[in-house]
Amino acid sequence: MPRAVYILALGIFAMVTSEFVVAGLMPQMAVGLDATIPQIGYLITAFAAAMALGGPFLSVALMKIRPKAALLGLFGIFLVGNLLAATAAGYGVMLVARIITGVASQAFFGIALSLCAQLTRPEVRGRAIAVVMNGLMLGTLLGMPLSTLVGESLGWRAAFWAISALAVVAALATVAGIPGISGAAEEGNFRQELGAFRRPKLWLVLLTSTLIIGATFSAFSYFNPILTELSGFSTGTVPLLLVAYGAATVIGNTVVGRLADRYTTTVLLVGLVLNAGFLTGFALLAHVSVAAVVFMLGIGLVGVTMNPAMITRVQRTANARPLVNTVHSSFITFGVMIGSWAGGTAIDQFGLRAPLWLGVALALIGILTLLPDLLRRRAAADTRAGQPADQRSAATV
């Protein structure tokens, strides 16, 4: 595996750590910025909105620049955003900082995956992309808890300084270890790629992904205050619980990755049903510390870990070209936005259990979006069952 692939994973690790740091330091940031918990939650929404809406445009703007230079430019933009966050005197400055880092992160993600494909042979490309994606999983497993620990020990601003230092390390590694190859922008296929979006089924498939992520992030965005104020855990314990949550996502991602190709829709259905159950249990028993941890880990196992199945379903419905994958990524990010924003609004109206109930509702709606696929599969199975045995054998070849 080329060394550059691991360097790309390090860059994504830094970006993802910055994305999630707010979720781990909500109480401290609320005090430091003279804001409410829901307002701090909206910083997650702003980051996600910047990713979904601004990231693709920045990626297009950088298409004619060599990938290595584009990555270094994005590190520069990302650092500006993080330094603004570390020195923010008020909520408005912090909001601007989150928008800047969100736009840079989404563009970095897309260019890194494209460059990964250029750097590796076709027969090992899937493994290479999996390595780069490990930056995302490790950002959840290690980056967020470690930044939370730093923030709780040295102040929330220290967490943003630490992420800035990590980004500098990743940028220096990019200078030393990423080859200066030319871009691989495809020309003449834009209209063809746009044609995939004329299929109504694709929009329903994209909506499923939004709802899966929205259900998870409505809870995840507010784990810290829920665990401390409802479940009774100390702020020092929360980073350890988040490490356990991150480990659950790694395990779930591995299992889903093995099953996604053969049982795509079934995996998504089971994941949504289980997630709705775990969210319900968490909402009902958040005041019981042991139960709260069990249900939180369950959400980790079946929440964001649906990504391999979601991606497989989208690519089978449309194609695996860059535009479809980029738009799918934006729909996933919309799920983060909906979960964090609506969860904060629900807290204002109904209290800290409300985001968990919101997650249940989004998961149930997600199940409904799978019904057309399930009905088509049932009809196809009935048709095959009515065929003579020799025709069924021929149909499965």
303-349: pLDDT as tens digits? 988 887 887 788 788 875 656 777 787 888 889 889 988 998 999 89
d(CA 218, CA 337): 9
The string of pLDDT tens digits covering residues 169-186 is: 999 999 998 887 765 444
| Cβ neighbours around 107 below 10 Å, total | 27
Q: Is 160 found in the same domain as 203?
A: no
Is residue 207 assigned to a domain?
yes
Q: Is 223 found in the same domain as 286?
A: yes
pTM above threshold 0.85: no
Q: Is 195 found in the same domain as 163?
A: no
The string of pLDDT tens digits covering residues 114-161 is: 777 678 776 555 556 667 767 777 777 787 778 888 888 899 999 999
DSSP of 193-210, one letter per residue? HHHGGG-HHHHHHHHHHH
Q: Is 331 found in the same domain as 211?
A: yes
d(CA 97, CA 108): 17
Is residue 391 assigned to a domain?
no
| Cβ neighbours around 137 below 10 Å, total | 25
Q: Is 117 found in the same domain as 217?
A: no
Q: Is 143 found in the same domain as 203?
A: no
Pick from 173, 157, 169: nearest CA to 83 = 157
Q: Is 346 found in the same domain as 222?
A: yes
Instruction: Give the pLDDT score at 87.
Output: 93
Instruction: Give the pLDDT score at 202.
Output: 94
Structural domain boundaries enclosing 36: 1-177
Whether 391 has a pLDDT exceeding 50, the answer reads yes
Q: Confidence band (pLDDT; 50, 70, 90) for 368?
A: very high
Q: Is 338 found in the same domain as 253?
A: yes
| Cβ neighbours around 375 below 10 Å, total | 10
274 phi, psi to nearest 5 deg: -65, -40
Cα distances (angstroms) measured from residue 275 to each of 203, 269, 280, 344, 345: 23, 10, 8, 20, 21
Query: What CATH number did the domain enclosing 279 receive?
Result: 1.20.1250.20
Q: Which two tokens stand for residue 300?
A: 């980790």
Mean pLDDT of 95-109: 90
Structurally, how many domains does the chain consist of?
Answer: 2
Whether 34 has a pLDDT exceeding 70, the answer reads yes
Residue with tokens 């057309």: 372
